[in-house]
Amino acid sequence: MRNLIVNYKNLPSQVRMAIEERYPDGYEDHAFEFEMPGKNLICRAIRVSLEGVNYLIKLDQRYKNTDFLLDDEW
């Protein structure tokens, strides 16, 4: 099995149709967050397996909140 990390914007139409079949009511309840190793980013994603390929589909990303580390009064 191949493992691919793909941005939602770059998905082939075949994978988009598989997402619609698997999550007919939407995928918001099935999304999870993970931290990108070596970066200061947290990504939200879903998983879909299709024809021997495991897709990790990145939905959006945000910077990890580290403001508390910069506070001088802490």
Which spans in the chain are helix H?
13-22
Residue 65 has pLDDT above 80, yes or no: no
Give the single-character DSSP code of 40: S
By the 8 A CB rule, do 6 and 56 touch?
A: yes
Q: How confident is the model at residue 63 (pLDDT cuts 50, 70, 90)?
A: confident
By the 8 A CB rule, do 9 and 16 touch?
A: no
Domain boundaries, the chain: 2-64
pLDDT tens-digit series, residues 11-58: 989 899 989 999 999 888 999 998 888 888 899 999 999 889 999 999
- pTM, to two decimals: 0.74
